[in-house]
Amino acid sequence: EVQLVESGGDLVQPGGSLRLSCAASGFTFNFYWMHWVRLVPGKGLVWVSDINSDGRTSNYADSVKGRFTVSRDNAKNTLSLQMNSLRGEDTAIYYCARGSVTGYYYHGMDVWGQGTTVTVSS
Amino acid sequence: SYELTQPPSVSVSPGQTATITCSGDKLGEKYVCWYQQKPGQSPVLVIYQDTKRYSGIPERFSGSKSGNTATLTISGTQTMDEADYYCQAWDSSIVFGGGTKLIVL
């Protein structure tokens, strides 16, 4: 079964850090681009970051650039998101999602994890 | 930054046709995907590359585009189709629309 399982969400104070992980199974992980997308209360889905299949190319939304770092370990079939300098507006459910093999965005994100909740509050 | 505009909500009676629009600058030159998200669940890819139905998605779901407006159409809407729907495109980065709550009553 193709599956993505996120972990690492927690309650953290503003300015704090958190590392999210996403364990992939049931498909050849190192073939695919991977994404992080968050569901923001009252705002909807917001794309956060993506990374190509070999981990050498990554992209970020302007709102997280310089604070978040995406990485992957293809030997362990794991995607990670290191989040630093967290702000209240980072509060959301964070999903990892499978992108395409080609990197073309129009193929969409076809497999999603169940999400992990990050709450930034004092 | 690039924006995709969707109506906040659309209401439809069971068995009728629901249409959800997504508009954006030069959207006609970009490909659009559509996602369905039910409360407490993860998003599901419904349509990709404007018109292609993803594997396992019922035939009552279809995508189209005219000018700078993309449309998700649900024919013979069922109560199980009640959900939030998001369009998505790319313009220097991936962008989602604000989402449309489909109310089936």
Q: Among all residues of chain A, which has the CA nearest to that of B87?
A: A45
Phi, psi of A96 (to 5 degrees): -95, 150
Q: Give chain A's mean pLDDT.
A: 97
In chain A, how long is the greatest CA-to-CA distance?
Answer: 42
Give the Cα separation of B17 and B73 in Å (integer).
7
Give mean pLDDT, residues A93-116: 95
User: What's residue A103's pLDDT?
Assistant: 84
Write out chain A residues lying below 8 Å of B44, CB-based: 112
Confidence of residue A96 (pLDDT cuts 50, 70, 90): very high
A46 reaches B (C-beta below 8 A): yes
For chain B, percent of residues with pLDDT exceeding 70: 100
Confidence of residue A45 (pLDDT cuts 50, 70, 90): very high
User: What's residue B58's pLDDT?
Assistant: 98
Q: Over the stretch A65-81, which tens digit does the pLDDT of each residue have? A: 999 999 999 999 999 99
Q: Among all residues of chain A, which has the CA nearest to that of B29?
A: A106
Confidence of residue A21 (pLDDT cuts 50, 70, 90): very high
Write out chain B residues lying below 8 Å of A37, CB-based: 43, 96
Give the Cα separation of B85 and B44 in Å (integer).
9
User: What's residue B14's pLDDT?
Assistant: 97
Task: Using alpha carbons, select from B83, B14, B16 the residue that is nearest to residue B46.
Answer: B83
| Run of H or E including A7 | strand A3-7
